């Protein structure tokens, strides 16, 4: 007997990858906001470039770099191949790795292997991933724990994707009374629990509610990069949704603004900046604005799809070099110094 739900999941995941690679899925008339900031150069940094350190910590876990490969995919054989490439590259460079939504694997153990990449990434932080809305669709502590154990993950992120679900043909749209359920997961799971958006950003009030509920880290995933409204519009056969997606081309809180908004009242909560970052200078700006880690997603996808680990490593090396060069250029020898630098100005 055919497993129709599995077939539909594989079709959706495959379409997401294809559309992200081949279609114009970035928002319009909206950017990350990072271009509105510039560093003041330090002509006399009193540093040796070779001594600049990118090492940092995330929730007491030592990291060689302040970078994350953001959540992308899983649930199909193609997705497994992508995750394998990403894991090998992340291990080589010392980046954290976020997994795509693991709902399908929790519901169907035959798909679990697509997220089981710890053997390729022995000591980097791995972040398991479940849609927060699934807590209203029969997911709870047991399913979240299963996802973490399946991936041998160091932490779990619950992703918020309200408008993606609204525009998704098969979307789950009951987001009512979620905060109390998020709080239960955060206070019961055996690993740190965080929350991320998927490209629309997190505002100040939402961040305050989440941290008050016990959430231990936040990934802003701001606007300026991939718009999942646009991705889903390419998948939809619903003419109303396809046309309505055009009204949301500039929807979201830009990444830079979201960093500042989350950090305003949450001074010690680990904060990940993702959403449209293009290079190591964007990453350096993000950390100077208040983030702890910088996440890169669709930028790395083409090399992963081509099973080209070497190309991935070259991209990651470039991003690292750009950040180190930016740090050298302002006289910051360590990530802590970059984070507390007074050399980032907003353009007038």
- Mark the binding-site residues, compressed into ranges: 12-13, 70-73, 101-103, 129, 164-165, 196, 226, 276-278
Phi, psi angle pair for 130, to nearest 5°: -135, 140
Q: Is residue 228 helix, strand or coil? A: helix
Structural element, H or E, at residue 163: helix 162-167
Phi, psi angle pair for 197, to nearest 5°: -85, -175
Q: How far is CA 348 from its chain centroid?
A: 30
What is the C-alpha separation between 95 and 214, in angstroms, rounded? Answer: 25
Rounded to the nearest 10 degrees, how much is the dihedral formed by the CA atoms of 329, 330, 332, 338?
Answer: -120
Q: Using the CB atoms, write b or e for 291-321: b if 16+ within 10 Å.
A: bbbbbbbbbbbebbbeeebebbeebbeebbe
What is the C-alpha separation between 127 and 117, in angstroms, rounded? Answer: 11
Q: Cα dist. 161→52, 87, 106, 197 in Å?
A: 37, 24, 19, 6
Q: Is residue 194 helix, strand or coil? A: strand
342 burial class (0-12, 13-18, 19+ CB within 10 angstroms)?
exposed
State the pairing for strand pair 37-39/344-346. antiparallel
**Which residues are documented as binding site for FMN?**
70-73, 101, 129, 196, 226, 276-278
Q: Write out the two tokens for 271.
A: 């904060």
CB 182 within 8 A of CB 132: yes
Q: How far is CA 276 from its chain centroid?
A: 10
Phi, psi angle pair for 264, to nearest 5°: -55, -45
**Which residues are documented as binding site for substrate?**
12-13, 101-103, 164
Q: How far is CA 167 from its chain centroid?
A: 20
In the chain, count H helices and then E strands.
14, 12
With CA atoms as reference, report the closest residue to 194 among 166, 228, 154, 229: 154
**Which residues are documented as binding site for Mg(2+)?**
165
């Amino acid at each position: 007997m055919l497993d129709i739900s599995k077939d539909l999941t594989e079709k959706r995941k495959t379409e997401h990858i294809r559309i992200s690679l081949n279609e114009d899925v970035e928002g319009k008339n909206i950017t990350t906001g990072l271009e509105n900031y510039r560093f003041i150069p330090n002509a006399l940094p009193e540093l040796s470039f070779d001594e600049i350190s990118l090492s940092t910590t995330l929730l007491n876990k030592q990291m060689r770099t302040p970078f994350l490969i953001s959540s992308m995919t899983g649930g199909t054989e193609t997705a497994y191949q992508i995750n394998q490439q990403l894991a090998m590259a992340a291990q080589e460079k010392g980046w954290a790795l976020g997994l795509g939504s693991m709902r399908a694997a929790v519901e169907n153990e035959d798909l679990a292997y697509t997220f089981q990449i710890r053997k390729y990434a022995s000591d980097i932080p791995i972040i398991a991933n479940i849609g927060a809305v699934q807590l209203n669709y029969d997911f709870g502590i047991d399913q979240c724990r299963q996802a973490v154990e399946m991936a041998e993950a160091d932490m779990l992120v619950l992703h918020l994707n309200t408008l993606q679900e609204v525009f998704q043909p098969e979307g789950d749209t009951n987001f009512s009374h979620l905060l109390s359920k998020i709080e239960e997961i955060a206070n019961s799971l055996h690993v740190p629990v965080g929350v991320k958006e998927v490209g629309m950003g997190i505002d100040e009030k939402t961040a305050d509610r989440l941290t008050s509920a016990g959430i231990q880290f936040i990934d802003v995933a701001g606007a300026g990069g991939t718009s999942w409204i646009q991705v889903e519009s390419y998948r939809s056969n619903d003419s109303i949704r396809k046309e309505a997606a055009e009204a949301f081309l500039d929807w979201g809180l830009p990444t830079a603004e979201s960093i500042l908004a989350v950090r305003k009242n949450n001074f010690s909560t680990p904060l990940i900046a993702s959403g449209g970052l293009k290079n190591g200078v964007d990453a350096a700006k993000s950390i100077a604005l208040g983030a702890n880690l910088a996440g890169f997603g669709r930028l790395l996808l083409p090399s992963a799809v081509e099973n080209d680990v070497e190309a991935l490593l070259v991209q990651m090396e470039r991003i690292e070099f750009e950040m180190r060069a930016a740090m050298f250029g302002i006289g910051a020898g360590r990530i802590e110094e970059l984070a507390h630098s007074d050399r980032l100005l907003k353009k007038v």
